[in-house]
Amino acid sequence: MMKLGLATAGAVVILDQASKTAVLAHFAGSPDADTVTPFFNLVLTFNRGMSFGLFNTGSRSAVNAWLFPLAAAIIVIGLVLWLRRVTSPLLGLAIGLVVGGALGNVIDRIRYGAVVDFLDFHIANYHWPAFNLADSAICLGVVAMLLESLLIRREAH
């Protein structure tokens, strides 16, 4: 499953970085938001904190720029070590999604000092925090891990 996981991680990193490059080019010299549908906007935000903008403060942004990538790198190493022992294709795919998403966001922190977020879903004036493809991959990977752990393994017993 190592090949599946690493190929998935590589695809996520490529798609994530390509989408962020396209968004940065799209917003170069223009306003930082475009309405796409009544419930979705394309926005440009830089998250210096962690998930959902937690710890997104200017006073700690220099620390965050190095602390969060270091934590993500440690997690990625642990996940790759786990991936070496995995026999389930679903779990291999799930770990690859999480690793790819984490690496995509680490690349942003190293390049920009923050994560580029651009997907803004909302209902009226209630907005979910902006996110990106890496964040989506991490969430899907975690859901797949839970499904594999709770449902598939239980069926095997």
Residues 41 and 33: beta-carbon distance below 8 Å: yes
Identity of the residue numbered 84: R
User: What is each CA distance from 5 to 17, 19, 41, 81, 115, in whole angstroms?
Assistant: 18, 21, 32, 11, 23
Residues 44 and 24: beta-carbon distance below 8 Å: yes
Active site residue 135: yes
At residue 41's C-alpha, the angle toward residues 19 and 111, to 5°, is 35
pTM reported for the whole predicted model: 0.89
Q: For the chain, give every domain's residue range.
A: 2-156
Q: Find the mean pLDDT for residues 78-97.
A: 97
User: Which residues partner with 40 through β-bridges?
Assistant: 37, 121
Active site residue 117: yes
At residue 46, the pLDDT reads 92
Please indicate whether residue 54 or residue 114 has the higher confidence score (pLDDT).
Answer: 114
Q: pLDDT tens digits, residue range 36-78?
A: 999 999 999 998 876 555 555 555 556 666 788 888 999 999 9
Please indicate whether residue 141 or residue 150 has the higher confidence score (pLDDT).
Answer: 141
At 29, is the pLDDT very low, low, confident or very high (cuts 50, 70, 90)? Answer: confident
Our measurement of the distance from residue 65's CA atom to the centroid of its chain's CA atoms, rounded to an integer in Å, reads 16
At residue 153, the pLDDT reads 61
Q: Which of 16, 108, 120, 135 is catalytic?
A: 135
At residue 30, the pLDDT reads 86
At residue 37, the pLDDT reads 96
At residue 53, the pLDDT reads 54
- Residues 127 and 119: their CA atoms lie apart, in Å, by 11
List the one residue out of 150, 151, 114, 121 whose CA is nearest residue 136. 121
Which residue matches tokens 């979705």?
A: 40
- The structure tokens listed for 46 are 């830089």
- Residues 101 and 8: their CA atoms lie apart, in Å, by 10
